[in-house]
Amino acid sequence: MTVIAARGRRRVATVVVLTLIALPALALAHERFVRHQLKHPLHDEFFLRYPGALLGMHPSMLRVGINAAIVFAAFIGVWFVRQPIDEAIERLVRPGGRRVQRAVHELACFVTDRPVRDRFFHAVGEWAVVMFLRVPGLVLMYSATNNSLIMPSYPLDPKTEFFFKMAQAGLAVLILTQTLLPLCGALVLGTWIYLNRWGWMVAADALPIVSVAVVYITSPWESHKLTITGLSARQIRWVRLSLGFGFLVLGWLKVYNHDLVAGVADQYPSVRDDVLVNLLAFGTDPAFARECWVVSFGMAEVLSGFMLMTGTFSRVWAAIMAFVFAKLLVVDFGWNEIPHLFPIGALAAIAFNNRLNSELDPIEAHEERAGRSGKDLKQASIILGTSLGLAFIAVFPILFALTFSDRSSLR
């Protein structure tokens, strides 16, 4: 059995080598599958240095940044005081009876990332993990039957498409049968790393696949003998961090590559109907509505990624983002954007996991100690300083730096 397994691994490795050799032809054929032609050009000067304005930013662009920072700070501040808010709400619903109290308690646990004991939640959580682990196999099968690599954005060269199809089909079978998951993870991660050879934007576009690669790599080699329906605290933390970082990068990439994002919105106007994005654009100049929408859209993704990375209301943001990606897949773009199943699976696994933690736990411990010691001013300073400090760091340094960037090569 050991010899057979070794031969199988060598065969898989051979397929992977052939795949990597043929990747240059793929990269040269890379193009966005979703229509993204601009109906009207943007005001490019909006995204660059604006003489005489604060921080050298266009006033409306700065307003979007301030709005985003306020939302950032508000969520982080509420995170620190979530327990007293929760206790106050539960006191208000006591007259409603035991069922109401239980429902409110379970909802509060979900929102504040505490363990939820409901059986339905546990069952959905197991289903979400199974989906998360199997979805890449479905995506690979779809790509293989549509002459593309991983996603329709990477069409295959006719000269090498047979090898790519077989490689993807083989890897899909391993994933769907939960066989040799560490090897599957290494192959997925290696493919993503190799994409950097053709530019960081290509690799950034594929960042969500790293989250599933992390779980595969940390799974046992005997994965085919096990029924994996849960993720450890370490695994879910790495999923949260990698996926959050991916959203963070993709958000800033949208601001940087603004013509592409605006072009997609021009072709699919329904994507502009988003409450959070419109909130971030509040108070901006209507004459620059499209430009403000692009920045707001990018900042909404930065906000989501940052919250996931810090572990602040992870379930809430995971649920929101899963809904948004599902809408884009089913309503707006169609099944040609089936790679959206990668983040949807990861987000569902986060939203229904009972082993979540927060990167702000050490700061929160200091804040709680200050409160127990009666040092109210110190406690308030910790909450306010952390909220405003993280909000400023998350928004303004990169937004400011992007005003110096030259986008002429993107046209």
Report domain extents, the chain: 36-112+199-410
Greater pLDDT, 41 or 4: 41
Mean pLDDT of 274-289: 89
| Contact assessment for residue 153 and residue 198, using Cβ atoms and an 8 Å cutoff | no
Pairwise CA distance, residues 144 & 74, whole Å: 45
Q: Is the pLDDT reported for residue 244 higher than 90?
A: yes
Rg of the chain over Cα atoms, rounded to whole angstroms, equals 23
Residue 114: predicted pLDDT: 92
For the cut 90, the answer to whether the pLDDT of residue 295 exceeds it is yes
Would you place residue 20 in the very low, low, confident or very high pLDDT band (cuts 50, 70, 90)? very low
Which pLDDT band holds residue 411 (cuts at 50, 70, 90)?
low
Cα separation values, 22 from 170, 194, 199, Å: 17, 12, 17
The CA distance from 362 to 358, in Å, is 9
